[in-house]
Amino acid sequence: FIYLFIYYLFITKKKNYDMKLRNLKQNSTAHFIEQSENKSKALWHVINSERKGKKERTAQIKLNIDSKITSDPVKVAEHLNKFFTNIAESTLQQNKNIQEINSNKTTIPQTIEPQQTAELQQYLQLTRTSAKEVGNVIDSLKSKSSSGIDGFSSKMVKHCKDELT
């Protein structure tokens, strides 16, 4: 029976202590926010200090630069700056080179010579179509800005639909 009484007394004292500590912390926080000039910043400071752990560790960045692992923040920053300032130019240059290669590989003839007509008729059977059918096919195209082998995008074809039908 005496142990139960001591246990009850301990629990009561612990609750009182926890409540007192909680009230002191609330008062301290309220006082900190009231005394600050920027209340919003102070409030977020309190929220972040409660949310985050006591120690804020920053991860050390390691980057492979010219086959050497570097953890110097200045060198890492310089390397990343150079990379991101030059990436657009190098991508455009690569794209230009690819387009030049592709344009050399595929050439679309502007006219068909009469001797080619018989050869083409072997493989190609065209039937008559209507402007409505062409319009329906154009409408069914997905609107994309990338162009095909002909150099025209489906957006442009859709924009020129009235002239094509």
| Span 24-67, pLDDT tens digits | 999 999 999 999 999 999 999 999 888 876 665 667 888 888 88
Domain with 163, as residue range(s), is 127-145+152-165
pLDDT in tens, 65-85: 888 898 888 888 889 888 888
Task: List CB contacts of 141: < 8 A, sequence separation 6 or more.
Answer: 154, 157, 158
> Which of 64, 86, 108 is the last residue in one of the domains?
86
Are 42 and 66 within one domain? no
**125 pLDDT above the threshold of 90:** no
The mean pLDDT value of the chain amounts to 83
113 by Cβ neighbours in 10 Å (0-12 / 13-18 / 19+) ranks as: exposed
Number of H-type helices and E-type strands within the chain: 7, 2
Q: Which residues contact 120 (CB under 8 A, 6 or more apart)?
A: 112
Q: Is residue 108 a part of any domain in this protein?
A: no
pLDDT for 107 beyond 60: no
Residue 138 CA from chain centroid, whole number = 32
CA 143 to chain centre: 22
Token pair of 76 as six digits: 């890492």
**63 in a structural domain:** yes
With respect to residue 117, please indicate whether it lies within any of the assigned structural domains.
Answer: no
Answer yes or no: is 113 within a domain. no
Indicate the pLDDT class of residue 18, thresholds 50, 70 and 90. Answer: very high
pTM: 0.31
- pLDDT surpasses 90 at 3: no
